[in-house]
Structure 1
Amino acid sequence: MPAPLLQTKLYLPRPRAGVVPRARLHGRLDGAAGAKVVLVCAPAGFGKTTLLAQWLAEQEAPPLGRRAAWLSLDRGDDDPVTFWTYVVTALRSVAPEAGADALALLGDGGPVQIRLVLTTLLNDLAVPGGEVVLVLDDYHLVEAREVHEEMAFLLEHLPPRVRLVLAGRADPPLPLARLRARGELVEVRAADLRFTPDEATAYLVGVMGLPVTARDVAALDDRTEGWIAALQLAALSMQGREDVSGFVAGFTGDDRYVVDYLVEEVLQRQPPAVRDFLLQTSVLARLTGPLCDAVTGQQGGRAALEALDRGNLFVVPLDDHRRAYRYHHLFGDVLRARLAEESPDLVRTLHRRASDWYAGNGDPAEGIRHATAAQDFDRAADLVELAMTDARRTRQEAALRHWIEQLPAGLVRARPVLANGLAGALLSTGEVEGVERHLRDAEQALADDPRARDEQELRRVPAGIAVHRAGLALALGDPAATVAHARRALELLEADHHIARGAATALVGLASWVTGDLDAAVTAYSGCLVSLERAGHASDVLGCSLSLADIQVTQGRLREARRTYEQALRLRPPDGAPPLRGTADMLVGLAALHLEHDDLAEAERLLTQAEALGEHNGLPQNAYRSRVVRARLLQVQGDPAGALALLGEAQRRYVGDMSPDVRPVAAVRARALLAQGRLAEVLDWVRGRDLSVDDAPDHLREYEHVTLARALLARHGADGDGDALAAATTLLDRLAAAAEAGGRTGSLVEVLVLRALAARAGSDLRGALEPLGRALALAGPEGYVRLFLDEGPPLAALLRSAAGRGPASGYAARLLAAGGTDAPRPPARQGLVEPLSDRERDVLRLLATELSGPEIAGELVVSLNTVRTHTKSIYAKLGVNSRRAAVRRAQELDLLSPGAPRHNHHMW
């Protein structure tokens, strides 16, 4: 479960009574048609929040009726998961029909792919509905590069019904120039926000009721330059004075000095108790009665806040019940500066009290922040260690890293739990720099006088170091070291520390997979499943099952892969809970297996069921894997264009992880292009991937090299290139030997089928049937079907010959039946497995002449379309793709002589 959200951050400020109307700025905010982003950017004290509260009240009122969501940001929102959880929750407060899947993705405790979260959210928001305004206030406090990158993605794809408002003190690092050039950006700057003389008069006279003259207003306006905060402070200082004009006449100074002076004036005019309350509570980002009581050591905090609100003393309510507030940012800054000047020792005490209160009320993040501000680093370190387990469980590694990095480096080095935790946080966020240094620090601290808040965590540090070293080795491409460190971790881990044992075992499996030791990988992943189930991490069980099934498919063990998926699907979430994340992946995996078994209806049902669950019920890879399987189904159903479109989308949705990418989407797409005869595009892909028949066999690129072999066979079929056929044959022989040695039977079956087709293309029928027989013997027990059927007529012809001989003849016959035909008797001669019909022989003889297609049709007294149909069949039976190649092949087989026999057999 994610960390609890602070609901006051989602409170939409309401316009206060007596606020100066600012119609001119409301018109600016409404902006030009098509503008989807509003930027309100100005220093503190310019009334950004007040302006937006007024404007949003108008937006929500009839006839506009736009729904407004608000999020007040702070420095703790740098963590991407935290930030986007708040954003989605804010949107759902006004658009409950959107974001449920996105929120589930963020909160399930697994690895979070923010791009997938945002894609899901944007798809929901793209559905027609009421207009929505989302305000992100104080966006300048967000510094995380990852957040800004994903925010740019959100802006680029924001649907028309949503308008985003960014308010802050500085321009955000977003593509503002591009938005501005497109007319999609409305800007309100400090110059726009300054009070005009008329607005200043309306405020001083109409709102504050001060007896000022036009000259006084002009003088104040000139000296404050319309700066609203300074004008407001001046008004407070003038209340109760007899000589208002004299005060105005003596009012000088620039912005900072004006604020200091006026705050001093305001503070000096407050009763001592109120002044002390203001200063002491200024250390708090949010103010509630109980928290203020804890910090000040006094009672009556809630009543004091309500009195400040009534007196308009720069407090901003954060809920409709007036239970939580914050100080105006500028006012708070000055209060803190004054507190630090007057009582520097008290500052630490106040922060320490705040830390204790937050830690005791279930908010470790704020407890850590205040302990750090108090420079009570031992206390902060204790709180970090206590929060570490939950931070990992809720995937807040970025926050964990930030907490630890705020501590003195020497303290982190002296506390092994922290040093090891920082190493793990770095690894989890994709960084390897510094990981080994922190692990060594942890080891040294263990050897010295280790300190830790939790003795159990301290005992687990040596095993944690080994796990992190295993992960580091894998990231650096050293699988042997990965296995060594992971096995060391397993030796050190307690028997009941199941989640850590599962992590270490999974790393062994990954390393074994990378090195091609599939049997060891299967053993490791099977052990990982046991540990994760014992730990109760059901969603991680599904993720591990996906990797295990992938390996089993590569081994050609389709039935074991099916059992892996089905066993994972038996795991059930608690009653009333949503399906486990990864459920969709299991369904997609099963769909792929049923598709291979040629059970198209069941494959369709499973894919539809997975899609109905929503992408949030899939692991990050599901977005592209589901499209790859759906594309293959479309290809089988006769929709090659739809298949290609889906594969293009799958490439864009690809998300990598630590598992090797042994079946790249681009290579799958290249095969789809080959099926459409688009050889030139495939050869471009081959060059782009720097593939060569001379490459050393590599199981990680095996799928790509098999695709290269297919391209070479297609090239030979297109123009009769004998060198391409020879190169394909040599490559396939080497691939077959490597796949067999590595136990990759799934790959071996496909390579043997292609080797048979290569022999057929070279007119070697006996040489074709030998590898085909081996492929059938390996594939039969596992129920492969589509691997054979998808090769089309050339392989069908070979299967007819194989159906009459050898131990796999029965399986060949079943495949032919699945393809819609029975096994015929073998042909008498011609050197062809599938002979030409009489009319096809007539067309073939004319193809050998100089006649054009229409002339051939005229010669035979048939339509041009009929000639084309016969020509296509001739090409298929001869295994070629061009007229020139067909003639050459016919000459090789002596099919153009008048005495060649004629047969008529049905093609697959």
Structure 2
Amino acid sequence: MDSANYGDSSSRFPTQGPLDQLLAAKFFVPTLPGTYFARPRLTALLDAGLQSQAILVSAAAGFGKTTLLSGWVRMFRPNDPHTAWISLDTCDNVPSQFWIYVLAALERCKSGISALPLTFLQKESQPAWQAMLTALINNLAQCSERMVLVLDNYDKITEPTIHALISFLVEHLPPTLCLVLSTRANLPFSLARLRARVQIQELRTEQLRYTQEETTIFLRKAVDFRFSEQDMQEVQSRTQGWCAGLHLAALALRGRSNPRDLLHELHGSQRAILEYLLDEVVQQQSSRVQNFLLQTSILDRLFPALCNAVLEQQDSQSILEEMEHANLFLSPLDEEHQWYTYHPLFAEALRHRLQQISPDNVSILNLRASQWYDSHLYENEAIQHAIYIQEWSRVTELIERIPSQSIWSRLNAPFWIEHLPPDVVRTRPRLCLAYTHALFWNTPSRITKDWLRDARMAWAVLHAREENATGITPAQKPEASTRLLGEIAALQAVVVGFYDGDAGATRAYCNEALTHLVEQQQAAHVQVTFAQSLAALSLGHFELAIQLLQAGNTAAAAEGDTALANICLTRASWDITMAGRLHDAWQFTEHTIQRAQTPDGHLPVTVCWTYARQADILREWNRLKEAQHLVEQAIQFGEQAEITALLPLGYTILLKLALSRGDLEEAARANQLLEDSWKRMPAPYCYALYSNVDQVRFWLACRDLERARQWAKNLEREEPLVSPLARERQGVSLARIALTESQPDRALALLAPLIVRAKATGRWAHVLEMWLLQAQAYQMRLQSQEALATLAQAVNLAAPEGYIRCFVDEGVQMADLLGRLKKQGHQGDSISYLETLLTAFDDAHEVQMRQAKKEQSDVSSPLLDLLSAREYEVLRLVAQGASNQMIAETLAISNDTARHHVSNILSKLGVTNRTQAAIRARILGLLSSAS
């Protein structure tokens, strides 16, 4: 039978890729058995639950949960409400696969509702879970029609990530969605809030048990024998209303000359009854059917061709039809009766029996199932069956068979790899490489380097084995094997270039990669180009870096790899900004967003990088509110998507915006987030390049000169960074500290060589920044002519690009210099630009005055007067970073007394932590800048 007949994913779903491999059978509402009858007392409870936000049906195996729900939803009027059904199994413990099925099920009900959430799952490294759920919840909330989502067999789910996300969904359910969970076990998350709000309907074991009346109805439908009322009561007593027990009993009663004898033999626990009845039922079947039952029990879903492959026979279709007719706990999953499933309890008992009588056969059967799924392109099922029997070599073979250029986008790949024993993964170079790609944006570089080192070592071992086996000399290395080494070297080049800024090592890896890569490995070639641009950047050669990134963008776009092309283009916009071309950088970001946008207007989560770049440009153009909105969006995307590498950049821009507004308390919060983010992703080169200058500005704005001095002292003790660009950034920070300490000569000495090198390599944004510092240093030396001449150069450079904040953020002295430059009759087309700058100073001064008044009003004088002499002493120690223990020892007081003083100080200053207390105290003049 053609594969198109047994697994068509929804054609309405708007994306290709992982969705092509969805099993449509999982979406079918199970067919009702011939013995089904309505249970109005329970459907009335379910109907009442529709008015709530959630329904929980929880009971042990065999209490009729699935049959009850499938009968209930079949009573709905067409699309009132819309019903999305998913039959879960153990394969769904991969979070990305679980949510793909959820989105696909909802999409089958309402076209377009899952398009945006899906983009958050298709992120290159890790899916953006919270962003995905937030988008889904928002879309559902805007839907005008009611929907029911049934997650049947939820007890099959053991993955904590899925539980956490379902808990989040439960806590934020929109009124348009009723979530129905069917499970054998208690849920691993709390429903307390829904219960408190009376927004959940719960059906448990006692409600699901058959009543005496229901038992009578069932047996009269199922067994061609008239039992007495006493017999019925005995059945009810022995089975305790257990649906599966009744069903098995009905099967066992067939063909008995005296059915009443069986009733007397039923006793013991549910497990004992199950074992007994299973023997009775199975033994009544022909050996052909018995063999079929046991061997197909390893399958979650049965399809004739699949069963034929697993049993190595050709009559599965007729056996399935025979079993369905006999009602042997087999339910069709589709209207065409092609896909079937066993009752979970029945399947579990059969698997247990198979394991007892033929354990060796379990592996053989699962292997055949894996092979069938693989040959019919059901990638996930093929891998899951191999994982189940721990056939690690087959798992690795299946994963490694995925083409290199597409394995990185496989949502399941990291989870497949994590199922494998670490020692297996570390001996397979392609698996190590795939895992490194998944970790790149959200894991410290030392970990990605370790995996790449393991990839290289594994490659060397395998390559040596190949050479020894074939007798090939090093000069005749197999081309296919060395291609993989090229991919490893390409990613090593990117990691070293991005996180370390080591141009020499990066170029060496690039050269190695190019030695082994062939033309067809376009993705790896683009990685090499990207790494070459990073090497050029670390040396400060911006124009070369930009040219390389544009080439990478063109190559990736030609291959249809939009994600990789956009990474190149976004990176280029950062470099163009540092080259001083703000308008060009903005055009690059706009093009990136336009290309990334889907036809329905949605954007992938990776747009966070572009938003961050746009926010920084807008900040420089003094469009602070727009910049704030964009950077908050970028950070939100980055946090939700766990793109950890973005966060320090986003928090740095947040810090710069707070400093531009003169809001030191908000700056303190941003600075704390910034410091925490660098602790999660330690990278001294990246810190120096993107954050150091602005963090030093923050310390100086808070009058925390001691902190700035300590950073400078630490810098002297540390090994210098290999990147000239990073060292330039550090030099700018040192010059700024020198100016604060009234050391203009030192500042000029630091800046002079840096300006020469920056001009030589076209780093005009940096030249502009350093000219502004240089002008202030000259003015501090009373060299007004030199100061104004330097400032004039800066103005001429900045005017065409509309720079504003780099001038205004320098403060009053810069405003004075610009005013004098204007009065001097500055030549050229910059007069109107000077007026724009001076107006921006006036606006900034007004904003800062309002901020200062607000901060003053937040702490009234009477409260400040209440600070005792002892509390002033404690405050000075707090500002120096002393702990309660250190305060107690210094002042010869108890720990409790120190803690009490600190608590009083925080309360009187209206802050919540020690850092905020120190900043507020400096703002209010309670502490000197040296304190």
TM-score normalised by structure 1 residue count: 0.72
Query: How many angstroms apart in 2 are the aligned matches of 1:683 and 1:357?
Result: 59
Q: Give the secondary structure class of the aligned counterpart of 2:401.
A: helix
Partner in structure 2 of residue 539 of structure 1: 563
| Range with greater deviation from structure 2 (278-287 or 648-657) | 648-657
Q: Give the secondary structure class of the aligned counterpart of 1:306.
A: helix
Partner in structure 2 of residue 698 of structure 1: 688
Larger Rg over CA atoms: 1
Of 58, 69, 73, 1:52 maps to: 69
Partner in structure 2 of residue 812 of structure 1: 830
Of 593, 600, 606, 1:583 maps to: 593
Matched, 1:769 2:788: yes
Matched, 1:399 2:418: no
What is the identity percentage for the equivalent residue pairs of Structure 1 and Structure 2? 30
Partner in structure 1 of residue 740 of structure 2: 727
Matched, 1:115 2:102: no
Query: How many angstroms apart in 2 are the aligned matches of 1:345 and 1:709?
Result: 69
Q: Deviations over 1:255-289 (max 9, x none)?
A: 22322221221111123332232223222222112
Matched, 1:459 2:446: no
Q: How many Å apart are 1:363 and its aligned residue? A: 1.8
Partner in structure 2 of residue 614 of structure 1: 601
Partner in structure 1 of residue 855 of structure 2: none
Q: How many Å apart are 1:165 and its aligned residue? A: 1.9
Asked whether the equivalents of residues 423 and 438 of structure 1 are also in contact (C-alpha less than 8 Å), the reply is: no
Matched, 1:353 2:368: yes
Aligned in 2, Cα 1:612/1:767: closer, same or farther, shift over 3 Å? farther
Q: How many Å apart are 1:127 and its aligned residue? A: 0.9
Q: Deviations over 1:149-200 (max 9, x none)?
A: 3333333333221122222333344343454445444433334333233322
Q: Give the secondary structure class of the aligned counterpart of 2:831.
A: helix
The 5 A counterparts of 1:504-653 are 504-507=528-531, 509-510=533-534, 521-522=545-546, 525-526=549-550, 528-529=552-553, 531-533=555-557, 535-558=559-582, 560-561=584-585, 564=588, 569=591, 582-584=592-594, 614-617=601-604, 619-621=606-608, 625=612, 628=615, 636=623, 651-653=635-637
Partner in structure 2 of residue 607 of structure 1: none
Long gaps (5+) in structure 2: 1-15, 470-476, 677-683, 706-735, 844-923, 926-931
Partner in structure 2 of residue 311 of structure 1: 326
Partner in structure 2 of residue 903 of structure 1: none
Q: How many Å apart are 1:47 and its aligned residue? A: 1.6
Aligned in 2, Cα 1:419/1:710: closer, same or farther, shift over 3 Å? closer
Query: How many angstroms apart in 2 are the aligned matches of 1:801 and 1:276?
Result: 98
The 5 A counterparts of 1:280-319 are 280-319=295-334
Aligned in 2, Cα 1:685/1:375: closer, same or farther, shift over 3 Å? closer
The 5 A counterparts of 1:112-261 are 112-208=127-223, 210-261=225-276
Asked whether the equivalents of residues 584 and 622 of structure 1 are also in contact (C-alpha less than 8 Å), the reply is: no
Asked whether the equivalents of residues 553 and 568 of structure 2 are also in contact (C-alpha less than 8 Å), the reply is: yes
Matched, 1:336 2:351: yes
| Range with greater deviation from structure 2 (309-318 or 680-689) | 680-689
| Range with greater deviation from structure 2 (21-30 or 627-636) | 627-636
Q: Give the secondary structure class of the aligned counterpart of 2:830.
A: helix
Q: Give the secondary structure class of the aligned counterpart of 1:232.
A: helix
Aligned in 2, Cα 1:688/1:363: closer, same or farther, shift over 3 Å? closer
Query: How many angstroms apart in 2 are the aligned matches of 1:708 and 1:728?
Result: 15
Q: Deviations over 1:713-760 (max 9, x none)?
A: 999xxxxxxx99963977995896797456653255356558868999
Asked whether the equivalents of residues 384 and 404 of structure 1 are also in contact (C-alpha less than 8 Å), the reply is: no
Aligned in 2, Cα 1:521/1:152: closer, same or farther, shift over 3 Å? farther
Partner in structure 2 of residue 888 of structure 1: none
Aligned in 2, Cα 1:704/1:261: closer, same or farther, shift over 3 Å? same
Aligned in 2, Cα 1:164/1:521: closer, same or farther, shift over 3 Å? farther
Q: Deviations over 1:778-833 (max 9, x none)?
A: 22454546766999999787556434658x632422415768999xxxxxxxxx99
Partner in structure 1 of residue 821 of structure 2: 802
Query: How many angstroms apart in 2 are the aligned matches of 1:419 and 1:133?
Result: 41
Partner in structure 1 of residue 859 of structure 2: none
Partner in structure 2 of residue 501 of structure 1: 525
Query: How many angstroms apart in 1 are the aligned matches of 2:806 and 2:523?
Result: 39
Query: How many angstroms apart in 2 are the aligned matches of 1:122 and 1:703?
Result: 40
Q: Give the secondary structure class of the aligned counterpart of 1:809.
A: coil
Q: How many Å apart are 1:546 and its aligned residue? A: 0.2
Aligned in 2, Cα 1:790/1:459: closer, same or farther, shift over 3 Å? closer
Aligned in 2, Cα 1:363/1:278: closer, same or farther, shift over 3 Å? same
1:364 is matched by which residue type in structure 2? E
1:130 is matched by which residue type in structure 2? E
Q: Give the secondary structure class of the aligned counterpart of 2:606.
A: coil
The 5 A counterparts of 1:717-796 are 727=740, 740=755, 744-750=763-769, 752=771, 769-780=788-799, 782=801, 784=803
Asked whether the equivalents of residues 442 and 642 of structure 2 are also in contact (C-alpha less than 8 Å), the reply is: no
| Range with greater deviation from structure 2 (696-705 or 361-370) | 696-705
Asked whether the equivalents of residues 106 and 114 of structure 2 are also in contact (C-alpha less than 8 Å), the reply is: yes
Query: How many angstroms apart in 1 are the aligned matches of 2:768 and 2:62?
Result: 72
| Range with greater deviation from structure 2 (112-121 or 125-134) | 112-121
Which has the bigger relative contact order, CA under 8 A and spacing at least 6? 2
2:830 is matched by which residue type in structure 1? A
Query: How many angstroms apart in 1 are the aligned matches of 2:62 and 2:350?
Result: 14
Aligned in 2, Cα 1:499/1:667: closer, same or farther, shift over 3 Å? closer
Q: How many Å apart are 1:238 and its aligned residue? A: 0.9
Long gaps (5+) in structure 1: 570-581, 587-609, 716-722, 823-831, 835-883, 886-908
Query: How many angstroms apart in 2 are the aligned matches of 1:738 and 1:173?
Result: 62
CA RMSD of aligned residues (A): 4.8
Q: Give the secondary structure class of the aligned counterpart of 2:293.
A: helix
Partner in structure 2 of residue 80 of structure 1: 95
Matched, 1:12 2:29: yes
Partner in structure 2 of residue 606 of structure 1: none
Aligned in 2, Cα 1:188/1:439: closer, same or farther, shift over 3 Å? farther
2:798 is matched by which residue type in structure 1? A
Asked whether the equivalents of residues 308 and 315 of structure 1 are also in contact (C-alpha less than 8 Å), the reply is: yes
Q: Deviations over 1:11-67 (max 9, x none)?
A: 123545542433343344456798423333333222221122123234x338x9221
Q: Deviations over 1:454-508 (max 9, x none)?
A: 9865333323443455567679868576665454333332344221122244345
Matched, 1:61 2:51: no
Q: Give the secondary structure class of the aligned counterpart of 1:810.
A: coil
Aligned in 2, Cα 1:744/1:708: closer, same or farther, shift over 3 Å? farther
Q: Give the secondary structure class of the aligned counterpart of 2:148.
A: strand
Asked whether the equivalents of residues 660 and 700 of structure 1 are also in contact (C-alpha less than 8 Å), the reply is: no
TM-score normalised by structure 2 residue count: 0.70
Query: How many angstroms apart in 1 are the aligned matches of 2:785 and 2:649?
Result: 34
Query: How many angstroms apart in 1 are the aligned matches of 2:273 and 2:394?
Result: 39
Of 276, 284, 287, 1:269 maps to: 284
Q: How many Å apart are 1:625 and its aligned residue? A: 3.6
Q: How many Å apart are 1:291 and its aligned residue? A: 1.8
Aligned in 2, Cα 1:233/1:498: closer, same or farther, shift over 3 Å? same
1:704 is matched by which residue type in structure 2? D
Q: How many Å apart are 1:304 and its aligned residue? A: 2.9
Asked whether the equivalents of residues 529 and 541 of structure 1 are also in contact (C-alpha less than 8 Å), the reply is: yes
1:619 is matched by which residue type in structure 2? T
Query: How many angstroms apart in 2 are the aligned matches of 1:188 and 1:38?
Result: 8
